[in-house]
């Protein structure tokens, strides 16, 4: 399983999350921070064959709103 490193928008700690399959991106998922347990959303995309993850807070505007 491929893992993607993301930075929590609440506590700014970095941790790894399992990446979705390449054919499932771009997508936007709900996730709870593994460090502070606050909810966040992670926008997964693909860049040159690499899955990338970008975490943002629930109040922030994401690609999918």
Give the footprint of Zn ion on this chain (CB under 5 A): 8, 10-11, 33, 35-36
d(CA 25, CA 44): 6
d(CA 1, CA 20): 9
Smallest distance from Zn ion to CB 23, Å: 29
Cis preceding-peptide flag for 43 (omega within 30 of 0) = no
Smallest distance from Zn ion to CB 8, Å: 3
Smallest distance from Zn ion to CB 65, Å: 22
Residue 53 dihedral angles phi and psi, to the nearest 5°: -125, 140
Q: Which is nearer to Zn ion, 32 or 50 (CB)?
A: 32
Q: Which is nearer to Zn ion, 10 or 52 (CB)?
A: 10
């Amino acid at each position: 399983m491929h893992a993607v490193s993301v930075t929590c928008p609440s506590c700014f700690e970095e941790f790894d999350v399992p990446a979705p399959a390449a054919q499932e991106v771009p997508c936007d998922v709900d996730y709870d921070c593994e460090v502070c347990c606050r909810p966040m959303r992670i926008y997964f995309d693909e860049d040159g064959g690499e899955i990338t993850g970008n975490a943002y807070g629930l109040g922030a505007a994401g690609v999918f709103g």
